């Protein structure tokens, strides 16, 4: 069983978000980076599957050399090797193209990633990779078990769950509770440096989008409290101030 886990290198969830260059670029100054939380679940499940039925886990990230600490953390958590495609992850299609090339080259049985990254939250990459490789792609996957070359998958749908059975190879966009996220142990951290981290160049520079500008949401405004006997005032405010009635 060869598992590929695609991880994103994203700002810590507590980061203050700001932009530079006329609101066209994310300001990464002073920002701490982490493995995308959804990718963390995917990686945790991959490590569990490897522990259960053997095989190998390869990590993949599309990004500059600054993402290597994030890859090494993944290696510390239990992946066997890592690949970094040395390119800016400009948009979902560009990233999907890189992943597809790696999957094809490495003949992976299972490709896991988060349901979406937590920086741009596109949630498109798994679907695109599936299309590019003509492989089934499922998301958001909350449960994933293997029986031979069959995957049994539970997927979250509006108001309930959908249970699927699919043949490998398969691409899955994961979310909790597919596995409990793992903290790397100290020995894992010490051995991460000895595990292979291969850097390769991008296979194509094709992108489909370009960013015009970013905008922050308006700051939260104050709250007006109304007592139960102030229904009239509440309706007035909704009509005249909030203008939503």
Q: How far is CA 87 from the centre of its chain?
A: 17
Q: Which of the stretches 88-96, 110-118, 171-179, 185-193 binds other proteins when contact is defined by CB under 8 A?
A: 185-193
Closest to other proteins by CB, 50 vs 126, is 50
28 binds other proteins (CB under 8 A): no
Q: Is the dihedral of CA 105, 199, 5, 100 positive or negative?
A: negative
51-59, 99-107, 151-159, 178-186 -> range binding other proteins (CB under 8 A)? 178-186
Pick from 17, 28, 190, 198 the residue near other proteins by CB under 8 A.
Answer: 190
Q: How far apart are CA 46 and CA 4, in angstroms?
A: 8
CA 80 from chain centre, in angstroms, equals 19
The region of 78-86, 133-141, 170-178, 186-194 touching other proteins under the rule CB under 8 A is 186-194
Q: Does 220 bind other proteins (CB under 8 A)?
A: no
Nearer to other proteins, 37 or 123 (CB): 37
Q: Does 17 bind other proteins (CB under 8 A)?
A: no
Binding other proteins (rule: CB under 8 A), the pick from 13, 16, 163, 228 is: 16
Q: Strands across the sheet with 170-174, in order? A: 160-167, 150-157, 137-147, 170-174, 110-114, 2-6, 56-62, 81-85, 197-200
Per rule CB under 8 A, count of chain residues that contact other proteins: 17
Instruction: Determine if 13 is a binding residue for other proteins (CB under 8 A).
Output: no
For the CB of residue 63, give the shortest distance to other proteins in the complex, in Å.
16
Distance CA 92, CA 62 (A): 11
Minimum CB separation of residue 30 from other proteins in Å reads: 8
Kindly report the number of other CB atoms within 10 A of residue 7's CB atom: 30
Burial 38-69 (b: 16+ CB within 10 A, else e): bbbbbbbbbbbbbeeeebebbbbbbbeeebbe
Shortest Å distance, C-beta 48 to other proteins: 15
3-state secondary structure of 78: coil
10: tokens are 């994203």
Q: Name the residue nearer to other proteins (CB basis): 10 or 111.
A: 10
CB of 197 to other proteins, least distance (A): 12
Find the distance separating the first CA and the last CA of the chain, reported in whole Å. 58
| Shortest distance in whole angstroms from residue 35 CB to other proteins | 11
Which H or E run contains 190?
helix 186-192
Binding residues for other proteins (CB under 8 A):
14, 16, 30, 69, 72-73, 76, 181, 183-187, 189-190, 192-193
């Amino acid at each position: 069983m060869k598992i590929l886990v695609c991880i994103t290198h994203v700002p810590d969830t507590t980061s203050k978000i700001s932009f530079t260059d006329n609101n066209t670029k994310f300001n990464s100054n002073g920002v701490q980076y982490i493995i995308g939380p959804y990718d963390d679940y995917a990686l945790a499940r991959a490590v569990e599957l490897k522990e259960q039925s053997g095989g190998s886990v390869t990590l993949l990230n599309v990004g500059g050399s600054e993402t290597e600490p994030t890859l090494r953390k993944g290696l510390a958590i239990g992946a066997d090797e890592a690949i970094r495609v040395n390119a800016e992850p400009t948009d979902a299609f560009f990233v999907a193209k890189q992943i597809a090339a790696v999957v094809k080259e490495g003949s992976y049985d299972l490709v896991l990633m988060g349901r979406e990254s937590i920086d741009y939250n596109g949630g498109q990459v798994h679907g695109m990779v599936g299309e590019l490789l003509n492989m089934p792609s499922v998301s958001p996957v909350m449960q994933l078990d293997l029986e031979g070359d069959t995957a049994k998958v539970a997927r979250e749908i509006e108001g309930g769950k959908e249970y699927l059975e699919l043949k490998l190879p398969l691409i899955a966009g994961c979310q909790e509770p597919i596995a409990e996220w793992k903290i790397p142990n100290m020995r894992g951290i010490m051995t991460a440096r000895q595990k292979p981290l291969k850097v390769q160049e991008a296979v194509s520079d094709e992108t489909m989008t370009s960013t015009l500008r970013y905008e922050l949401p308006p700051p939260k405004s104050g709250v007006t409290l109304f007592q139960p006997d102030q229904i009239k005032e509440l309706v007035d405010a909704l009509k005249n101030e909030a203008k939503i009635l």
